[in-house]
Chains A and B, each alone.
Chain A
């Protein structure tokens, strides 16, 4: 089945550690997105990529990094510079008709 796979579903990080969240899609979509969701807040854009080897900062990019070496993959690294990384992270991709599809999310907790 076509879709977006995020892993891991749950992740725990110690202070000072970098962690990487995986996002893989087999929908053949060009554009991919990373969002952060906190309780009571709307989704906030971290990074997005329109095409392979290109990506743009979103509204809250500080403390995060991404790469887009393959069309199917858009991993997000949460660095130690991110002061409050505990959140629910959502990866999405954009179909040609303009419909946005999401993965199941990854919950990151800082210990």
Chain B
């Protein structure tokens, strides 16, 4: 069964720093990988979707990469801001429309 791991579980950085969040998965036969943001008490907001044939996707200050063969994805956040403070989750999709989620990285950006 697919297992998705996100390390570290929590991260605290000063404002302005560039940072990388990690997501690893055990089964490389994925359809795509998606990064989400979750604010306390809220639903998940989609940030970036990477199809299995793609290597990376970018949106504003966010860049996500995918290395299927090694079972890894990274989310790069440039010039972090206090408003970026949230929990970031990754999810992989298999055929049959099944999704597997990591437990998330809780990010705090200190002003």
Question: Are A103 and B97 closer than 8 Å at their CB atoms?
Answer: no
Encode contact with B along A46-76: 1 for CB under 8 Å, 0 otherwise.
Answer: 0010100000000000000000000000000
Encode contact with B along A1-29: 1 for CB under 8 Å, 0 otherwise.
Answer: 00010100000000000000000000000
A100 interface hit (Cβ, 8 Å) = yes
Question: Are B103 and A41 closer than 8 Å at their CB atoms?
Answer: yes
B77 interface hit (Cβ, 8 Å) = no
Nearest A residue to B51 via CB reads A98
Q: Do most interface residues of chain A lie in helix, strand or loop, or is the interface mixed?
A: strand
Most central of B42, B44, B89 by chain A CB within 10 Å: B44
Question: Are B49 and A97 closer than 8 Å at their CB atoms?
Answer: yes
Most central of B42, B43, B91, B102 by chain A CB within 10 Å: B43
Q: Do most interface residues of chain B lie in helix, strand or loop, or is the interface mixed?
A: strand
CB distance from A42 to the nearest CB of B (A): 4
Question: Are B99 and A45 closer than 8 Å at their CB atoms?
Answer: yes
Question: Are A104 and B42 closer than 8 Å at their CB atoms?
Answer: yes
**Cα(A9)–Cα(B45), bound, Å:** 17
Nearest B residue to A4 via CB reads B43
Chain A residues positioned under 8 Å from B51 (CB to CB): 98
Most central of B36, B46, B51, B100 by chain A CB within 10 Å: B46
Question: Are A100 and B99 closer than 8 Å at their CB atoms?
Answer: yes
- Supposing A40-B103, A42-B102, A98-B49 touch, asked if A31 and B44 sit within 8 A by C-beta, the answer is no
8 A Cβ contacts from A60-111 to B: 88, 90, 92, 94, 97-105, 107
B4's partner among A42, A88, A99, A107 (CB-CB below 8 A) is A42
Question: Are A101 and B101 closer than 8 Å at their CB atoms?
Answer: no
A-B contact pairs, 16 of them (CB 8 A): A4-B43, A6-B43, A31-B97, A33-B99, A40-B103, A41-B103, A42-B4, A42-B104, A43-B89, A43-B91, A50-B97, A90-B43, A97-B49, A101-B46, A102-B46, A105-B43
Starting from the known contacts A105-B41, A107-B41, 5 additional A-B residue pairs (CB-CB under 8 Å) come to A43-B101, A99-B34, A100-B46, A100-B91, A103-B43
